Amino acid sequence: MTSRISSLFVVGALALALPGCAMWSGGSRQHQSSSVVQFLYPDKDQPFIVPSIPTLRLPLRVGVAFVPPGQHGYQSSSSFPEARKSELLRQIAGEFKALPFVQSIEVIPTTYLRPGGGFENLDQLRALMGIDVAVLIAYDQAQVTNDTAWTFAYWTIIGAYVVPAQKNDTHTLTEAVVYDIASRKLLFRAPGVSAIKGHATAVRNDEEMLADSARGFNEAALDLTTNLKSELELFKTRIKEAPDEVRIEHKPGYSGAGSLQGWFAAGALALLAGRFLRRSRR
């Protein structure tokens, strides 16, 4: 009889403990990325491409695209949905569209780029869409979830619902890399980063991780667009200081205009008004 009671107690204890064990994951890691290097230099044996001095013929025609994810590190259940990618592409296109030396900007669908397509793929886009410069967007997101000391509360089952004992870290990097296609020259790059820390209950952890992932991509995208502006200004300064680095030409057949800016108009107005008032007083 005593042994039967002992057996029941053990079975009951196991029944209570097992769900806790299932929730006590002990820590996990998720990773999703796309890489400009993997896209442009897919073959390790490929001889290194030596870029030549680029000649930018203004106004530029620019293409913006997401680098397709490689075979490694890609998750089909990506929390970086195509809609968000399109939104980011439009934001970046907007930054370039505002630049006076940019003639046009094309948002290139990801399907136009092959994984590991390299410069040959960019050459095809150049011929197909008539672009001079490609802005390639890549991303890398790592999410780590770890158990904290509070995970002992999972033994109570209720604890798994109410105690946020999972510690989550989400690190996101987005990167815009601007290449002159003809010369294979990297003109400049701009990063966007985000680091999100959070806690979640065992039951809601997956949901929280997905939310953190989406937030990470949003924050990194915003940071990227901000950095892109300053990197563009730095690039223009660099070209001015080191004109041998990049040659600037104008495409034949440009449109031109004179501009009488405000300071000139104000100066002329002040002088003529001053002279007019003197004459009127006499």
Partner 1 sequence: MNPAPGLRAAGWVLLPAFLLHLWPQAASALRFERDAIGAGEWWRLWSGHWVHFSAPHLFWDALVLGLAGTWLEHRRRGLLAWHLLATAPAVSLLLLGLEEDMRVYGGLSGLGVGAIVLLALTELVSDREHRAWWIALLALVAAKIGAEAATASPWFALEPGIRLSAWAHPAGALSGLLVFAALRLARSVRRTRPAPGPPDSASEVTVF
- Contacts with partner 1 by CB under 8 A lie at 58-59, 97-103, 236, 239-240, 248-262, 264-265, 267-269, 271-272, 274-276, 278-280
Task: Please name the helix (run of DSSP H) or strand (run of DSSP E) that holds residue 9, with its range, or none.
Answer: helix 2-23
At 169 the three-state DSSP class reads strand
Name residues whose C-beta falls within 8 Å of residue 244's C-beta, 6 or more positions apart in sequence. 53
Name residues whose C-beta falls within 8 Å of residue 150's C-beta, 6 or more positions apart in sequence. 163, 164, 165
Q: What is d(CA 215, CA 226) in angstroms, rounded to the nearest whole number?
A: 17
Q: How far is the CB of 280 from partner 1 (least distance, A)?
A: 6
Of residues 76 and 255, the one with the C-beta less far from partner 1: 255
Q: How far is the CB of 243 from partner 1 (least distance, A)?
A: 10
Read off φ and ψ for residue 169, nearest 5 degrees.
-125, 130
Cα 93 → chain centroid: 13
Nearest to 64 by CA among 107, 96, 97, 123: 107
Of residues 72 and 282, the one with the C-beta less far from partner 1: 282
Q: How far is the CB of 98 from partner 1 (least distance, A)?
A: 8
Of residues 4 and 282, the one with the C-beta less far from partner 1: 282
Of residues 71 and 261, the one with the C-beta less far from partner 1: 261
Cα 92 → chain centroid: 10
Give me the count of residues in the chain: 282
Q: How far is the CB of 137 from partner 1 (least distance, A)?
A: 22
Q: Do the Cβ atoms of 208 and 79 come closer than 8 Å?
A: no
Of residues 103 and 225, the one with the C-beta less far from partner 1: 103
CA quadruple 130, 47, 141, 216: dihedral positive or negative? negative
Computed over its alpha carbons, how large is the radius of gyration of the chain? 29
Q: How far is the CB of 130 from partner 1 (least distance, A)?
A: 14
Of residues 211 and 232, the one with the C-beta less far from partner 1: 232
- Between CA 252 and CA 262, with CA 258 as vertex, the angle to 5 degrees is 145
Q: How far is the CB of 181 from partner 1 (least distance, A)?
A: 19
Q: How far is the CB of 250 from partner 1 (least distance, A)?
A: 6
Of residues 26 and 100, the one with the C-beta less far from partner 1: 100
Reported for 19-22, long-range contacts at CB under 8 A and 24+ positions apart, including other chains, are 19/157, 19/160, 20/154, 20/155, 20/156, 20/157, 20/159, 20/160
Q: How far is the CB of 39 from partner 1 (least distance, A)?
A: 28
Of residues 95 and 212, the one with the C-beta less far from partner 1: 95
